Amino acid sequence: MSWPDLLSAVADECLAVLLKGADQDWSRPAGGLDWTCRQTLDHLALGLVGYAGPLIARPRDRYITLFASLDAHAPVPACLEGIGIAASLLGATVRDTAADVRAWHPWGHSDAAGFAAMGITELAVPTYDMTRTLGLSWTPPGDPSAAVLDRLFPDAPSGHDPSATLLWCTGRIPLPGLPRRTEWQWDGRTQRGV
């Protein structure tokens, strides 16, 4: 499956599970985050549009100046629609970006595949956080998690379920024999060592 297709599939799954909790209290903290579930949705919108922007503008030494946010007064289903739009924008940008294009990110200059993997991480991991608060049972899907681990987390331990490993890499859970991380960062560089 291509990176845009993986991103679209993860977005669809995340939005479907979050919609199940749309009538709940979104002012509670999302999992172990300092943000509320509603604020976390804003972070998703910012991240997804923020990953499309560098691929379009191609800055070499800075982040883009476009920031996306959701209507603060919109109901949760409308906010989820906004997240779907942002994910579609990133997916289309990834699909239309030439393989040799590189753009700046503070965690490593990256290609379109790297930004797609970042978008998947930004969708899946905070969705996991929000579902914990909303009382919904959900974990990131396995195949996209495996692709993200391969692309962004060269230090990921092997021999574990990809979904659990992604959650471990992003400091959400411990793994057998590995305590929960207190600090983490992905490696967005297209070629390690660049």
Domain boundaries, the chain: 3-145
pLDDT category at 194 given cuts 50, 70, 90 is very low
| Structure-block tokens of residue 94 | 């990834």
Report the percentage of the chain scoring pLDDT > 90: 79
Sorted by sequence, the CB contacts under 8 Å of residue 98 that are 6+ apart come out as none
What is the maximal distance between C-alpha atoms in the chain? Answer: 46
Q: What is the DSSP letter of 181?
A: P
CB-side neighbour CA atoms (13 Å) of 107: 13
- What integer pLDDT is reported at residue 191 of this predicted model? 58
Topology of 3-145 in CATH? Four Helix Bundle (Hemerythrin (Met), subunit A) (1.20.120)
Q: What is the pLDDT of residues 135-169, one digit of tens each?
A: 999 999 999 999 999 999 999 999 999 999 999 99
- What integer pLDDT is reported at residue 147 of this predicted model? 97
**Separation CA 186–CA 188 (nearest Å):** 6
- What integer pLDDT is reported at residue 64 of this predicted model? 74
